[in-house]
Structure 1
Amino acid sequence: MREMIHAMKEELWEIFDHLHRHPEVSWEEWKTTEFIKQQLIQEGYRANTFSDCPGVIGEIGSGPFTVGLRSDMDALWQEVNGAWQANHACGHDAHMTMVLGVAKLFNRIGYKPPGTLRFLFQPAEEKGTGALKFLEKGVIDDIDFLYGVHLRPIQEVKSGYAVPAILHGAAQCIDGEIKGVAAHAARPHLGVNVIEVGSAIVQELSKIHIDPQVPASIKMTRFHAGEKNANIIPDHAEFSLDLRAQTNEAMEQLVEGLNHVVKGIASIYDADIQLRSGVRIAAARPHPQAQQLMERAIVATLGEEKCLPPVVTSGGEDFHFYSLMKPQLKTTMLGLGCDLKPGLHHPQMTFRREDLLSGIEILARVIMETFEHFTPRGETESAYLTTKN
């Protein structure tokens, strides 16, 4: 297996370079969709797309037991060297390369799963809505185990190491609007200053307390009020809040506390405050069996000393909607160390490309091991794992 992966290296780098040079933002990944579809068809997979959204489903085999492997597709929109553009600064180009690499590897070694193997190339992870669309499409309904992968920053996992689960936290953005009463700045008692209301919200947010053993935060990240004239008490403001919590339960407590704060301040200042909730990203709940299988695949690929405990991170991932909405689904995400720096979402983010080869091997192993353990033994090619390295 390892020799075959290395033999494919130049082809994999061409795929990565193509994806990196042609980034597309959330819900606009149409060219990426077509490229991936053609790559899968070329390798003999059944490949399906959708008329109303980007995304690709690749499949091989048949049977009631189904294993899935998911990659995200979208790029960020950010300023790079002074120009705003789509940019793969979160590693999704690497994720697609690895998942395509697994598909190509299985075709090259002639692996035939004793069940259904499904590859999911999902749009709009950065918007937090792509997984919800795939859930709506029903592509998860019959999957038993679902695996994902994400590059980890050097601060979490170094090159040559990996973790069998990424414990992402819950995340939510909430937009707000404040309506007060305009007045002359010389007569503030006749108005309701929305800036003062916004300031009160910021102060009271720090008083929302939940279990201190659970990491959580809520902060205002955008506020706009007033226009060109400085001598007017402004009567309208818009703001945004970012909420983070390590568990879904803690997120519920943050939202409850926020609603209590807003209701109280609106009453004190006689202002109208409206909140509009955006998409809430679910916290990770990796399944013990999926995590154990991923750990075994990491050990077989990198060695026991290179398999680290699951990493806790404050970032969010819409992958975790799958297990939240389908509790019977067994999921986990591989966290791959690759000396990624200076950090995820940095416009000049770089990583060690060679580590993608290890990622492909780990993902291939966990898929084969899952079929081996949960389907009747047969021509599963699992012996290839130990005899061809």
Structure 2
Amino acid sequence: MKEQVQLLKPKLDEVFAHLHKHPEVSWKETETTRYLKEFLEREGFNVNLFNGITGLSVTIGEGKPVVGLRVDIDALWQEVDGVYQANHSCGHDGHMTMGIGALLMAKERGIPEKGTLKVFFQPAEEKGKGALAVVDQGIIDDIEYLFGVHVRAADEMNDGCSAASLRHGAAKMVNGIIKGTEAHGARPHQGKNAIEVGASLVSGLQSIHCDPIISHTAKMTMFQAGGESANIIPGNAKFSLDLRAQENKVMDELYQHVERVISAVAAQYDVVIDYDVMAEMVAAEVDAEAEELMYQAIVSVVGEDKATRTVVTPGGEDFHFYSVQRPTVKSTMLGLGCGLTPGLHHPHMTFNQDALATGVEILTTALELTFQSKK
């Protein structure tokens, strides 16, 4: 298979170069979708666009088993050298390239011999909403095994190494508004100081304790109150909270504690605190069988000395919504070591592009092994 992938490499390099040069942010990946559609159709694939959202899917074969591969397509909006722009600093351009490569290899090798392969290109991963939107499309309802992939930073994994699963943590981003009462600085008894309310919220968050064995944090990440006048007690404020937990059950417990803190502080100061969850990610629910198949694929391609069972990472990834929303789906995500520096989401992130060919080989092998295991 390695020779087949190397023959494809010039085409993969061309795909990556185009996608890297033309990033698009979440829900606006229209040209990206068009490019993927036209490329795949030229290669002889039947492409299905998603309904009402960007992104698309390709289905090969029919019947069971049904095996899926998901890649994400959106870029980040961030400041690069003083200019805000769309930027592929999370590696989704590489993920798309590997998805295309896996499709080309599947066609080359006659995968699946029996069963159905679904490869889909998902929008809006960075918003944490794309996977849920694809779930609503119904495409994963009959999928038994689902694989994903994400490039990894050099401080987490060496170039040339790969992990059979990525155990991302859960995250919630909460936005809130404190509605107090403004007053003159000389008459604090006539007001309800939103800054004091915010300070109590911070103190309350620090008093939250869940299982210390499982990492978790709850902290205030934004607070805005008051104006330019130092003699006015501000009544209103805006705030944001960032919640993290390595397991979904701990996130549920953590969020319940946060709600109790907000309720208690609101009662203490007799103010209204409105809040809602603006974005969230669930923690990974890795299937042992899917992980084993991916591990076998990694060993087959790069050897046991460069294979790792799992990597625990506090970052979020909306891929894990698929198995949480559809518990019958057996899923895992390949972590691809590729010498990525300085880090994910850095405006000047870069990685060894030759590693994408290795990723294609591992993913194709994992798909092939999965179909073979269900004969």
The TM-score, its normalising length taken from structure 1, stands at 0.95
Please tell me whether the aligned partners of residues 174 and 240 of structure 2 are also in contact (alpha carbons under 8 angstroms): yes
Please tell me whether the aligned partners of residues 26 and 125 of structure 1 are also in contact (alpha carbons under 8 angstroms): yes
- For residue 108 of structure 1, report the CA deviation from its aligned partner: 3.1
| 3-state secondary structure, aligned to 1:8 | helix
Measure the CA separation in 2 of the matches of 1:99 and 1:113.
19
- For residue 268 of structure 1, report the CA deviation from its aligned partner: 1.3
- For residue 351 of structure 1, report the CA deviation from its aligned partner: 0.7
Q: Which runs of 4+ in 1 moved over 6 A?
A: none
Alignment of 1:1-389 (within 5 A): 1-375=1-375
Gaps of 5+ in 2: none
- For residue 344 of structure 1, report the CA deviation from its aligned partner: 0.5
Q: 1:387 aligns to what?
A: none
- For residue 189 of structure 1, report the CA deviation from its aligned partner: 1.6
Measure the CA separation in 2 of the matches of 1:114 and 1:37.
25
- For residue 51 of structure 1, report the CA deviation from its aligned partner: 4.3
Equivalences, count: 375
- For residue 77 of structure 1, report the CA deviation from its aligned partner: 0.2
- For residue 112 of structure 1, report the CA deviation from its aligned partner: 4.3
Measure the CA separation in 1 of the matches of 2:50 and 2:229.
51
Report the residue type matching 2:307 in the other structure.
Answer: C
Please tell me whether the aligned partners of residues 151 and 335 of structure 2 are also in contact (alpha carbons under 8 angstroms): yes
Q: Alpha-carbon deviations, 1:188-246, whole Å to 9, x = none?
A: 12111101110111111111000000000111111111123222111110111010000
Please tell me whether the aligned partners of residues 89 and 346 of structure 2 are also in contact (alpha carbons under 8 angstroms): yes
Report the residue type matching 1:259 in the other structure.
Answer: E
Please tell me whether the aligned partners of residues 112 and 368 of structure 2 are also in contact (alpha carbons under 8 angstroms): no
The TM-score, its normalising length taken from structure 2, stands at 0.98
Q: Alpha-carbon deviations, 1:34-83, whole Å to 9, x = none?
A: 11112221222221003411011111111132110000000000000110
| 3-state secondary structure, aligned to 1:342 | coil
Please tell me whether the aligned partners of residues 112 and 371 of structure 2 are also in contact (alpha carbons under 8 angstroms): no
State the identity as a percent.
49
- For residue 111 of structure 1, report the CA deviation from its aligned partner: 3.9
Q: 1:381 aligns to what?
A: none
Measure the CA separation in 2 of the matches of 1:113 and 1:37.
24
Measure the CA separation in 2 of the matches of 1:278 and 1:253.
18
Measure the CA separation in 2 of the matches of 1:238 and 1:178.
6
Measure the CA separation in 1 of the matches of 2:57 and 2:333.
19
Please tell me whether the aligned partners of residues 43 and 103 of structure 1 are also in contact (alpha carbons under 8 angstroms): no
| 3-state secondary structure, aligned to 2:60 | strand
- For residue 253 of structure 1, report the CA deviation from its aligned partner: 1.0
Measure the CA separation in 1 of the matches of 2:65 and 2:51.
28
- For residue 106 of structure 1, report the CA deviation from its aligned partner: 2.3
Please tell me whether the aligned partners of residues 50 and 137 of structure 2 are also in contact (alpha carbons under 8 angstroms): no
Please tell me whether the aligned partners of residues 295 and 309 of structure 2 are also in contact (alpha carbons under 8 angstroms): no
Q: 1:384 aligns to what?
A: none
Please tell me whether the aligned partners of residues 145 and 330 of structure 1 are also in contact (alpha carbons under 8 angstroms): yes
| 3-state secondary structure, aligned to 1:237 | strand
- For residue 121 of structure 1, report the CA deviation from its aligned partner: 0.2
Please tell me whether the aligned partners of residues 89 and 349 of structure 1 are also in contact (alpha carbons under 8 angstroms): yes
Gaps of 5+ in 1: 376-389
Measure the CA separation in 1 of the matches of 2:364 and 2:241.
40
Measure the CA separation in 2 of the matches of 1:50 and 1:284.
25
- 38-47 vs 159-168, greater mean Cα deviation: 38-47
Report the residue type matching 1:71 in the other structure.
Answer: V
Please tell me whether the aligned partners of residues 43 and 107 of structure 1 are also in contact (alpha carbons under 8 angstroms): no
Measure the CA separation in 1 of the matches of 2:302 and 2:127.
33
Please tell me whether the aligned partners of residues 44 and 107 of structure 1 are also in contact (alpha carbons under 8 angstroms): no
Report the residue type matching 1:66 in the other structure.
Answer: V
| 3-state secondary structure, aligned to 2:308 | coil
Please tell me whether the aligned partners of residues 323 and 331 of structure 2 are also in contact (alpha carbons under 8 angstroms): yes
| 3-state secondary structure, aligned to 2:266 | helix
- For residue 110 of structure 1, report the CA deviation from its aligned partner: 4.2
Q: Alpha-carbon deviations, 1:3-51, whole Å to 9, x = none?
A: 1111111111110010000000000001111111122212222210034
Please tell me whether the aligned partners of residues 27 and 123 of structure 2 are also in contact (alpha carbons under 8 angstroms): yes
Report the residue type matching 2:299 in the other structure.
Answer: V
Measure the CA separation in 1 of the matches of 2:289 and 2:112.
23
Measure the CA separation in 1 of the matches of 2:178 and 2:307.
50
| 3-state secondary structure, aligned to 2:118 | strand
Please tell me whether the aligned partners of residues 113 and 368 of structure 1 are also in contact (alpha carbons under 8 angstroms): no
Measure the CA separation in 1 of the matches of 2:225 and 2:309.
46
- For residue 107 of structure 1, report the CA deviation from its aligned partner: 2.3
